[in-house]
């Protein structure tokens, strides 16, 4: 695979983030995109052998036709609906036209989570999700503070689990798991959240993973269901991305998730 600086102008360089197995045995995966080179974030569908069937790009342009994606903050979360016909796609951070990213000083603007058809990639609807502010301020490098969506999972037909992953230089990584309702108003037709702030999805804190993991928590970016357990709970697995950095670690957390009551409107 060619690095971005050496790739032809017409060739996207994959930056995969989430991957899911479809009921037909095929695969679905997300690419964060490369807005600096003109490629929006994308969703890729393949058959069971990995052969590409379809790839859909999304630029999320503003009202003036400019791409609204921030570099390295495209589709990060992917959740296939129970019927396998649609998927929810979560950006990691707000679009430029929606407002600032989260920092220690502010929670920033809401992030868009979009429902797409797996037949043609068409956007069907969209909800707004409000991430937390970065839990700890960095005195040295505040511009590198980050908090956003790193993964999502379906929790029945009307709810999603949302994993927020944070980082602050000098303090390290954090991760919190939330449960949200999907009944929030549709924001698909809204070109900017700054001019017309949306009603965001109701969220319920399920767990702070820093209290689950013994020792330092790393860069949690993956989440998947495991099998049900005899006591009515279900296995929920988390995994980290070490970014090929020897100072980081690959971590896999195996937890038990107890079904919760619905989120209030």
Summarize pLDDT for 210-219 with one digit per residue, the tens. 888 777 899 9
Q: What is the CA 227 to chain-centroid distance, rounded? A: 23
Please determine, for residue 264, whether its predicted confidence score (pLDDT) is greater than 60: no
220-228 vs 52-58, strand pairing mode: unpaired
The percentage of the chain sitting over the pLDDT mark of 70, rounded to a whole number, equals: 96
Q: How confident is the model at residue 8 (pLDDT cuts 50, 70, 90)?
A: confident
Averaged pLDDT score across all residues of the chain: 92
- Averaged pLDDT for residues 39-56: 95
CA distance 152 to 110: 16
Predicted confidence at residue 122, as pLDDT, reads 97
CA distance 259 to 263: 12
SS3 label, residue 216: coil
Q: Which residue is associated with the tokens 């399920």?
A: 206
Predicted confidence at residue 261, as pLDDT, reads 56
Q: How confident is the model at residue 62 (pLDDT cuts 50, 70, 90)?
A: confident
- Averaged pLDDT for residues 153-158: 93
Return the higher-pLDDT residue of 7 and 176. 176
Predicted confidence at residue 140, as pLDDT, reads 85
The percentage of the chain sitting over the pLDDT mark of 90, rounded to a whole number, equals: 75
Nearest-5° angle of CA 164, CA 178, CA 35? 35
Give Cβ neighbours of residue 16 (< 8 Å, ≥ 6 apart): 29, 30, 31
Q: How confident is the model at residue 1 (pLDDT cuts 50, 70, 90)?
A: low
Q: Indicate the pTM of the whole model.
A: 0.94
Return the higher-pLDDT residue of 148 and 195. 148
Predicted confidence at residue 265, as pLDDT, reads 36
Among the ranges given (2-6, 170-174, 214-218), the one the predictor scored with the smallest mean pLDDT: 2-6
- Return the DSSP state at 261: P
Please determine, for residue 263, whether its predicted confidence score (pLDDT) is greater than 80: no
123 and 188 Cβ atoms separated by less than 8 Å: yes
Q: Which two tokens stand for residue 198?
A: 């949306």
Give Cβ neighbours of residue 49 (< 8 Å, ≥ 6 apart): none
Please determine, for residue 143, whether its predicted confidence score (pLDDT) is greater than 50: yes
Read off the pLDDT of residues 92-136 as tens digits, 9 standing for 90 and up.
999 999 999 999 999 999 999 999 999 999 999 999 999 999 999
């Amino acid at each position: 695979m060619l690095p971005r600086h050496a790739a032809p102008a017409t060739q996207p360089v994959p930056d995969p983030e989430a991957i899911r197995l479809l009921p037909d045995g095929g695969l679905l995966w997300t690419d964060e995109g490369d807005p600096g080179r003109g490629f929006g974030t994308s969703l890729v569908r393949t058959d069971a052998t990995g052969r590409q069937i379809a790839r859909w790009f999304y630029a999320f342009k503003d009202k003036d036709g400019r791409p609204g994606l921030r570099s390295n903050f495209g589709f990060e979360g992917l959740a296939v609906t129970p019927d396998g016909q649609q998927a929810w796609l979560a950006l990691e951070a707000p679009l430029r036209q929606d407002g600032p990213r989260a920092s220690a000083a502010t929670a920033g603007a809401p992030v868009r989570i979009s429902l797409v058809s797996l037949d043609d990639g068409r956007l069907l609807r969209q909800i707004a999700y409000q991430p937390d502010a970065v839990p700890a301020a960095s005195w040295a490098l505040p511009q590198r503070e980050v908090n956003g969506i790193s993964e999502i999972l379906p929790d029945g037909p009307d709810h999603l689990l949302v994993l927020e992953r944070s980082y602050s230089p000098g303090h390290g990584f954090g991760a919190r798991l939330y449960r949200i309702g999907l009944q929030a108003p549709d924001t698909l037709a809204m070109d900017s959240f700054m001019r017309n702030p949306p009603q965001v999805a109701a969220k319920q804190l399920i767990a702070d993973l820093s209290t689950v993991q013994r020792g330092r928590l790393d860069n949690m970016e993956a989440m998947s269901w495991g099998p049900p357990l005899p006591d009515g709970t279900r296995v929920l697995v988390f995994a980290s991305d070490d970014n090929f950095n020897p100072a980081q670690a690959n971590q896999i957390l195996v937890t038990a998730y107890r079904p919760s009551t619905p989120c209030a409107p």
